[in-house]
Amino acid sequence: MRLLAIDSALPAVSACVLESGERAPLASESLPMSRGHAEALMPLIARVMQATPGGFESLDRIVATIGPGSFTGIRIGLAAARAIGLACGKPVVGVSTLAALAAPLILAHDERPILACVDARHGHCYAQMFSGEGNALGPPRVALNMEVAALACQQPCRLVGDGASLVAVEAWARGAKAEVVGAATVPLIEFVAMLGFLAEPGAAPPRPLYLKAVDAAPMRGAPIGAGA
């Protein structure tokens, strides 16, 4: 199976083409940027596909990140993925940015849980806990940094994402044994692709995962682990 992965949910636009069973993409490109995703994404995808033998016709599936992250970036990435899927007659699946951030740490074969954190601004964080084997230990949530830090206090864990240091400061103040791993602020696009192979069309729809309302005033987040 050959898959095109797209990510524009956080401060970068990225795309790659990956064959199932491989670790190195056939073609890949990532551009860090805080704005301008709409103008940059389609030309970037075009360059990646030009470097891919067989081009768009060789694809079997498209995957895009669904968030949480930038409202605009999420919409742009999903719109591009859906358009390409429609044009190529191929299924489109979605994966979360939190799962994609955690994925490299899962391959480290460390038993400690992984807490993926994305800065949601105004003292809040998008967060989700995963086991060392990659199982979700609760749904993704938006919550105050101090509430997310309470999770890190329950057991030694690894933190990843651009909100990791913010949560870690709160956790360390409470004596938690939490480790910030790496400096990743956006998912590595090849791991978005790997998760795309695991996603089942129909069970992983390419629908936005916003977690909070657009332009909403900052509110106290729902406790981690509460029902959806």
Q: Is the pLDDT of residue 12 over 90?
A: yes
Asked whether residue 28 is assigned to any structural domain, the reply reads yes
Asked whether residue 46 is assigned to any structural domain, the reply reads yes
Average of pLDDT values for 55-75? 97
The pLDDT value given to residue 226: 38
Indicate whether 35 and 85 sit together in one domain.
yes
Indicate whether 113 and 75 sit together in one domain.
no
The pLDDT value given to residue 109: 85
Q: How far apart are alpha carbons 16 and 48 in whole angstroms? A: 6
CATH number at residue 139: 3.30.420.200
The 10s digit of each residue's pLDDT in 132-144 is 999 999 999 999 9
Indicate whether 32 and 91 sit together in one domain.
yes
Average of pLDDT values for 161-168? 96
Indicate whether 16 and 123 sit together in one domain.
no
Q: What is the DSSP string of 35-88?
A: S-HHHHHHHHHHHHHHTSTTGGGG-SEEEEE--SS-HHHHHHHHHHHHHHHHHH
Percent of the chain with pLDDT over 70: 93
| Residue with tokens 């075009």, as numbered in its chain | 46
Q: Decide if 13 contacts 33 (C-beta within 8 A).
A: yes
The 10s digit of each residue's pLDDT in 181-222 is 988 899 999 999 999 999 999 899 999 999 886 544 444 444
Asked whether residue 165 is assigned to any structural domain, the reply reads yes
Indicate whether 86 and 115 sit together in one domain.
no
Indicate whether 53 and 112 sit together in one domain.
no
Indicate whether 65 and 135 sit together in one domain.
no
Indicate whether 135 and 69 sit together in one domain.
no
Average of pLDDT values for 119-147? 95
The 10s digit of each residue's pLDDT in 14-23 is 999 999 999 9
The pLDDT value given to residue 214: 58
Provide the residue range defining the domain that includes 86.
Answer: 2-97+187-198
Indicate whether 69 and 175 sit together in one domain.
no
Asked whether residue 79 is assigned to any structural domain, the reply reads yes
Q: What is the three-class DSSP state of 207? A: coil
Q: Is the pLDDT of residue 125 over 90?
A: yes
Indicate whether 76 and 126 sit together in one domain.
no
pTM: 0.90
The pLDDT value given to residue 222: 44
CATH number at residue 19: 3.30.420.40
Q: Is the pLDDT of residue 102 over 80?
A: yes
Residues contacting residue 190 through CB under 8 Å, at least 6 positions apart: 5, 16, 18, 23, 24, 25, 28
